[in-house]
Amino acid sequence: MAFFSAQLLIIGLINYPWIIYYDENEVKDLKDDMLDFVNSHQNPDSDLFIEPTIESTYRAIDSINFSSSVISSTDLINPRYNDHLDKDMEDFFFYYLFEKQNDNGSFSDIFGLGNLFSTYQVVETIDKLDSSFIYSHKEEYEVNKVNLIIQYLKKFIS
């Protein structure tokens, strides 16, 4: 009887519709963040949404010298200084890459399929744009992300 009661309780908990309510300010913040994300990944000519892969991001950052004076006369946008984003969003590109991190510390475009090379590409991309970014974290969330990278890399070294 106790086993049946436990099963019934588990089924009830699994099927219970857990509802989360957000206040108006949280909804507005979420909408603004989503709009910032879409605007930063939208082709200005076609208005199509484009989400770059880790590899294409790495190759673009690796092959473009953003300090060159020629870059300012092109349509290329330095992710560190994106005029389409608010000033408080200047690190958006880095956090976008951090969100591609898997639970084990690796990085991938598809959750759970990270490997050492894609992790290298993300860390190298961030390092090329701002080498102090990875070491400048103070919030627990960010520190945990960096620690996951370190643990993942240590696993391969040892």
Phi, psi of 48 (to 5 degrees): -80, 145
Q: Which of 94, 60, 62 is nearest to 77 (CA)?
A: 60
Range with lowest mean pLDDT among 55-59, 101-105, 121-125: 55-59
What digits encode the pLDDT tens for the residues 10-59? 877 777 777 788 889 988 988 888 887 777 767 667 777 667 788 888 87
Domain definitions of the chain by residue range: 52-157
What is the average pLDDT score of the chain?
79
**CA distance linking residue 136 with residue 121, whole number of Å:** 20
3-state class percentages of the chain: helix first, strand second, coil last, to nearest 5: 55, 5, 40
**CA distance linking residue 118 with residue 27, whole number of Å:** 33
pLDDT of residue 96: 81
pLDDT of residue 102: 87
